[in-house]
Amino acid sequence: MAPLDGKWTKILIIGGTGNFGKHVVDASIHANHPTFVLTRPPAADDTDKKDLLQYFVSLGVELIFGSIHDYEILLEAVKKVDVIISALGHEPAQLEGQAKILKAIMEAGNIKRFIPSEFGTDAERVDPVEPAKTAFMMKAQIRQMTRKYGIPHTIICSNFFQTFFLPRLGQAEVSPPIQGKVSIIGDGDTQGKPIY
């Protein structure tokens, strides 16, 4: 992102310690943006997360301990920045929590751009079945709320992340690595069709 008003854009990344979010944090800081990460404090036994947070601090990232469910902390974090990137996961509670981010954006009144957690298939151009249907519905609702409130935003649809699906062999509800049985739908020769 280019500098705003002659200053580098201040970026808040929510979900910055996740599979995808950690790369967004790294890219933001290496592009010289003042970077903030809203994160829950690591558990005492979570050495991987502690190491990642120490790495972020060594790069100059400002950590804000809290979550999207700690509204006062979220609001204070939003007031410090120009842009918010949500890299929250696909769990329903996290996707629904983006409504709190929108509320904080509206209350703070200073955000120049919001990038909601999408990073997958276009939620408004698919007709999925469960378990994906619920997640897509929530993503579409966040888009609709963002438009309704007039929040400047960018939607990024990058298609599927194979680091999520390959270890599960396409079975999103299963924790990797797959052991034992694998379900293959159809004969394996079905061709995909463009949706637009």
Q: How do residues 102-123 score in pLDDT, each as one tens digit?
A: 999 999 999 999 999 876 677 7
Please indicate, yes or no, if residue 134 is contained in any of the structural domains: yes
Instruction: Based on the residue annotation, tell me whether 139 is a catalytic residue of this protein.
Output: yes
CA dist., res. 3 & res. 58, Å (int): 23
Domain span holding position 143: 11-168
Please indicate, yes or no, if residue 73 is contained in any of the structural domains: yes
Provide the percentage of residues in the chain whose pLDDT is more than 70.
75
Please indicate, yes or no, if residue 49 is contained in any of the structural domains: yes
Position 102 scores a pLDDT of 96
Please indicate, yes or no, if residue 194 is contained in any of the structural domains: no
Q: What is the chain's percent helix, strand, coil content, to nearest 5?
A: 40, 10, 50
Chain mean pLDDT for the chain: 83
Please indicate, yes or no, if residue 53 is contained in any of the structural domains: yes
Q: How many domains are contained in the chain?
A: 1
CATH number at residue 104: 3.40.50.720
The torsion region of residue 6 among left (phi > 0), alpha (psi -120 to 50) and beta comes to left
Res. 147: pLDDT tops 90? yes
CA dist., res. 34 & res. 39, Å (int): 16
Which among 1-10, 142-151, 166-175, 180-189 has the top mean pLDDT? 142-151
Count of alpha carbons within 13 angstroms of residue 145, beta-carbon side: 20
Position 77 scores a pLDDT of 98
Please indicate, yes or no, if residue 179 is contained in any of the structural domains: no
pLDDT tens digits, one per residue of 85-98? 999 887 777 778 89
Which among 28-42, 129-143, 153-167 has the top mean pLDDT? 28-42
Q: How far is CA 73 from the centre of its chain?
A: 18
**Which is catalytic among the residues 133, 139, 148, 193?**
139
Res. 162: pLDDT tops 60? no
Position 164 scores a pLDDT of 56
Position 93 scores a pLDDT of 74
Nearest to residue 185, comparing CAs of 167, 162, 164, 169? 169
Position 156 scores a pLDDT of 84
Residue 157's pLDDT band, with cuts at 50, 70 and 90, is: confident
Position 53 scores a pLDDT of 95
Please indicate, yes or no, if residue 183 is contained in any of the structural domains: no
Please indicate, yes or no, if residue 34 is contained in any of the structural domains: yes
